[in-house]
Amino acid sequence: MMEYILKNGIVYDPANGINGEKKDVMFKDDIIVDEVSADAKVIDVTDKIVMPAGVDPHAHVAGPKLVVGRLYRPEDSRMGVSQKTKVLRSESGFSIPSCPTTGYRYSRMGYGTVVEAAMPPLEAKHTHEEIATIPNIDIPALPLFGNNWFVMEYAKDKNIEDLAAFISSWLKISKGYGVKIVNPCGSEAWGWGMNVHGYDDKAPYFDVTSREVVMALAEANEMLGLPHSIHIHPNDLGHPGNVPTTLETLDSVKNIKKSSKATIRDQVMHVTHLQFHSYTGNSWKDAGSGAVEVADYINKHDHITCDVGQVTFDETTTMTADAPMEYDLFKLSGLKWTNKDIECETAAGIIPCIYSKKSPVSTLQWGIGLELFLLINDPWKVCLTTDHPNAGPFMRYPRIISWLMSNEKRQDMCENEVHKWIYKRTTLPTIEREYDFYEIATITRAAPAKIYGFEDRGALTPGYKADIAVYDINPNDIDPSKQALDIEKGFTVADYTIKDGQILVKDKEIVKVKESQNIWVNVKGWERQEQKVIDNIMPFFTQYYSVKWENYPVQDHYVSNPIRVDVEK
Amino acid sequence: MTYEPPITDYDYIVENCTCAFCGCNCDDLDYLVKDGHVVAVRHACRLGASKIMEDMDQRLLVPMIRDENGELMEVDWDTALDKAAEYIANSIRPVFYGWSETSTECMKEGLALGEYIGAVLDNQATICHGPSLQAVQNAGYPIQTLGEVQNRADMIAYSGSNAMNSHPRHMARYAVFCRGYFRQRGRFDRTVVTMDPKFSDTAKCSDKWIGFEQNGDYGFYNAIRAVLRGKELYQDVISGIPKEDIYELAEEMKNAEFGVLFFGLGLTHTLSKQRNIDIAIKMVQDLNKYSKWGLTPMRGHFNVNGFNIFMAFETGFAFGVDFARGTTRYMMGETNTIDLLVRKEPDCFMVIAADPGAHFPNGANQHLADIPVIQIDIHWGPSTELADVVLPGSFIGVECDGTSYRMDGVPIYMKKAIDKPETCRDDEWIVRELKERVMKLREEPNVAPKYVPNSNLDLAM
């Protein structure tokens, strides 16, 4: 039995309303407690920031498209190479780091949980093999449902009960956490080289609209009472003039009632990388920011949460299940384009992308991201992401934090670094809001944990997991609006990262590597309906899938040591 | 082919096994088992069935060490493993080659050993689809799963690949003859084109054979691209094909609803090597302006793709990864097995589930004869004649379980059906044993005292 006291730290724990109080944080083995014996080891963190370990609500860190990215971009892998040490394996990669590197870098930033945002069920075994290779962080994965043929059929028939049973069953089969929807009906249309345009466009052949699919999935999600709401990447990503589609998507689920079982979250829909969905205009020539409108909608409605997908001005690798959009990017940039269609389920595309400060479009995207952060009033409704690696690598979170905390830094960048579109096409230079540490702790930990319905992390509540980060920043002695670089430095490497009560980072060095855990949702009480659904789809599956049913599910040994979240009926 | 009566004399059937032969990884095989041996295989092609049934043919059953007279002598496992570990521990430039016919679980152990000792890990891609991987790194990788081909494709092109002989069920199960959701009449709903200098068995059952001249691949695909981009062809005959035929073919490809190009070593290993694949990939990218097209390399071994995928997620590079300096390093032409051997760099060579003796160029094999070679395999082969230590493994998908990746990247769990011969060991166990023994013999070289981030990351530290 090990007991520790983190002494005299300045604690930011938004879930418990603790805003910069000087107090001790105690944990026993892997659990936070409110008192320890006299034998407890004391770790002196006087005047340093103490927060729950970070929770990343949306990143692409493990799975088939990541591996294709690494395989076909050795130039990216070479960017991050470092030598092995007694504790660490050799690192590689910048925007698409190798699996061990991913774990190390998150750990250094004080993160403890990262959600892998897109898992095709057919290749779920692959995703889980990678998750098992990433150390130090817990990784739930969201299976893709938005273009699944069965889902589209259920949605067309408005058969919500069978759809719910299907979701419940597929979460077990793929060991997934929640319902991810990517460009609903659009990726299916991409099977024929097409896309859908707008929320009410139909998928070819299936004769069902994006709206019908999303609403059906939202209803089924609430019928099951899953801890997380539906997690959507709406249609028309990255297209100028997509604001109406985005707002229609957000508005369509406002009358769907949240399940009474989902006690932690407030939302019925989480919209991801909203920055890419907030463009006005008709083409890139007259594109502008729609952030004001979108943020206004979110401020006025409580059924929506979002993460931003902030552009960081790096050379990165875009990858998404929104495959037609990736082909559009290929037509724009001509860089090496990768595509991966998955039978009966989804598609994916990958293309390298260079976000440059000199580029008007990149500048516009950067501005929109920050506008969303600054215009959405309630930090519980917005999370910090870069949609890693799409808008930038996750390593840049500290830099984004420094931008959010310093108007001076932003003004300086607008004036001296980025393209002049920032003045013409966005309102960013007129926004003076600056985040404080409490709000930063909210958007990087507390809010994502709440949105996902985690009952064991994202706060320093006694009984929760001892996932804690300590940063070498003294809030009483720093002026974030004037010291942006110091803020970035402080959040780049944590002084301590503690995961499940184990000290992984100590004095800014990784001292220990531990096995990661997958988190998946097990819905109880639907077994009869699940069997019925499986029996019904079996003839189809046998005929049209290229693997046998026996080989389809993720066998238990691929998910060693998982955390199972049970949902009672 | 003569009629063979069905096997009726068996003890039990194991259903839904996965074939451990080519990159099709057919997972619908039924093994008929009698007295602990597979006596018949249902659903498999001849290649797969014979590999599975004749598993005892020239089987390596006991560990062996080559003595001072140059003879392989039978020894016990401890002696053989110690000897192999000694060779590895005493080397400064070891190469671990092969891996394409074993499981990713075994690769994991091999990688841990390689990273510890500072070896080069490489697989058969270096002599087969290496140019394809290079081209993918140049131009991109528009692919799709095989079920997608089955359900949607109305045009199939095979280029430099004789699927009928090398991947016999490819056409039947995934691409041509099978019924798909949108192709209910199977073969009748699809146009099949074979692009190959040879009138192969695949060409014989195609609707169209484009017999361009040898080494004419690049010119041919370039011409199609030119046509797709609205250019006029000035020569009347290109790569041996009349230009009218090229116009016609380009038009047909544009009008397909869903087309797929499968390419094999006939394309990767002719004159222009990776440039052939470059241009094929670019052609597919151009075709997507008009309709939907994808391509897939016809991977040979059942887990050759698996090694590339595995290495990419573990280290960031697909093959030919060099850990000699304590960092991950990959450089085509420098850290690949053949180049290393021809430069006579390696001083220890471990080959697992591969046969360099049969496949490597002479110059490379000459160096193998001069250095210690450790072989982990299930069958005798020319490599056994080069080996100084022979460690008999077991048969993935038959005698032990493991994960493999199909040519399209779909992961398959290959289950165990029968017990392995008593004297053999699982590949994974053997490599883990070697790792543990090497770790005892030698301290880890090239360890940095402290982590130093790469300056390219531009971190505020």
pLDDT single digits (tens) A403-461: 999 999 999 999 999 999 999 999 999 999 999 999 999 999 999 999 999 999 999 99
Question: Is residue B261 within 8 Å of B293, Cβ to Cβ?
Answer: yes
Residue B3 pLDDT grade (very low, low, confident, very high; cuts 50, 70, 90): confident
Q: What average pLDDT does this structure show over A305-328?
A: 96
Q: Token pair of A340, please?
A: 């991966």
Question: Is residue B156 within 8 Å of B259, Cβ to Cβ?
Answer: yes
> Looking at the complex, does the CB of residue A492 fall below 8 Å from at least one CB of chain B?
yes
| Cβ-Cβ contacts under 8 Å, B133 against chain A | 71
> Looking at the complex, does the CB of residue B460 fall below 8 Å from at least one CB of chain A?
yes
The Cα–Cα gap between A109 and B310 comes to 26
pLDDT, position B305: 96
pLDDT, position B294: 97
| Cβ-Cβ contacts under 8 Å, B456 against chain A | 79-80, 94
Q: Is the pLDDT of residue B5 over 90?
A: no
pLDDT, position A461: 97
Test B328 with A81 for CB contact under 8 angstroms. Answer: yes
A34-73 confidence digits (pLDDT tens): 999 999 999 999 999 999 999 999 999 999 999 999 999 9
Question: Is residue B316 within 8 Å of B339, Cβ to Cβ?
Answer: no
Best CA proximity match to B122, nearest among B378, B345, B432, B445: B345
Q: What average pLDDT does this structure show over A184-191?
A: 96
Residue A399 pLDDT grade (very low, low, confident, very high; cuts 50, 70, 90): very high
Question: Is residue B356 within 8 Å of B102, Cβ to Cβ?
Answer: no
Helix residue ranges per DSSP H, B197-318: 201-204, 217-228, 243-255, 265-268, 274-287, 304-315
> Looking at the complex, does the CB of residue B256 fall below 8 Å from at least one CB of chain A?
no
Smallest CA–CA distance from B331 into chain A, residue = A74
pLDDT, position B461: 74
Residue B2 distance to chain A (closest CA, Å): 30
The Cα-based distances of A503 to A43, A106, A467 in angstroms read 11, 14, 10
Q: Is the pLDDT of residue A172 over 80?
A: yes
Test A125 with B411 for CB contact under 8 angstroms. Answer: yes
| Cβ-Cβ contacts under 8 Å, B291 against chain A | 192-193
pLDDT, position B1: 62
Smallest CA–CA distance from A326 into chain B, residue = B142
B268-282 confidence digits (pLDDT tens): 999 999 999 999 999
Q: What average pLDDT does this structure show over A245-253?
A: 97
Mean pLDDT of chain B, nearest integer? 95
ipTM field: 0.96
Percent of chain B with pLDDT over 90: 97
Question: Is residue A305 within 8 Å of A267, Cβ to Cβ?
Answer: yes
Dihedral of CA atoms B209, B211, B212, B214 in degrees, nearest 10, equals 140
Question: Is residue A165 within 8 Å of A173, Cβ to Cβ?
Answer: no
Q: Token pair of B110, please?
A: 């091999």
pLDDT, position B2: 76
For testing the chain A interface, which of B225, B328, B335, B416 should be mutated: the one with the most A CBs within 10 Å? B328
The Cα–Cα gap between A190 and A382 comes to 30
Residue B397 pLDDT grade (very low, low, confident, very high; cuts 50, 70, 90): very high
B98-123 confidence digits (pLDDT tens): 999 999 999 999 999 999 999 999 99
pLDDT, position B142: 96
Long-range own/partner contacts, residues A95-98 (CB < 8 A, 24 or more apart): A95/A69, A95/A314, A95/A315, A95/A316, A95/A317, A95/A389, A95/A392, A95/A393, A96/A66, A96/A69, A96/A70, A96/A317, A96/A319, A96/A389, A96/B316, A97/A393, A97/B316, A98/A70, A98/B312, A98/B313, A98/B314, A98/B315, A98/B316, A98/B328
Q: What average pLDDT does this structure show over B366-381?
A: 96
A517-567 confidence digits (pLDDT tens): 999 999 999 999 999 999 999 999 999 999 999 999 999 999 989 999 999
Residue B54 pLDDT grade (very low, low, confident, very high; cuts 50, 70, 90): confident
Residue A202 distance to chain B (closest CA, Å): 18
> Looking at the complex, does the CB of residue B330 fall below 8 Å from at least one CB of chain A?
yes
Test A339 with B144 for CB contact under 8 angstroms. Answer: yes
| Cβ-Cβ contacts under 8 Å, A506 against chain B | none
A92, A190, A544 ranked by CB distance to B151: nearest: A544
Q: What are phi and psi of A349, to 5 degrees?
A: -140, 155
Best CA proximity match to B169, nearest among B200, B146, B141, B145: B146
pLDDT, position B60: 95
* Cis omega (within 30 of 0) for bond into A64: no
DSSP strand pairing (A315-320 vs A346-354) = antiparallel
> Looking at the complex, does the CB of residue B179 fall below 8 Å from at least one CB of chain A?
yes
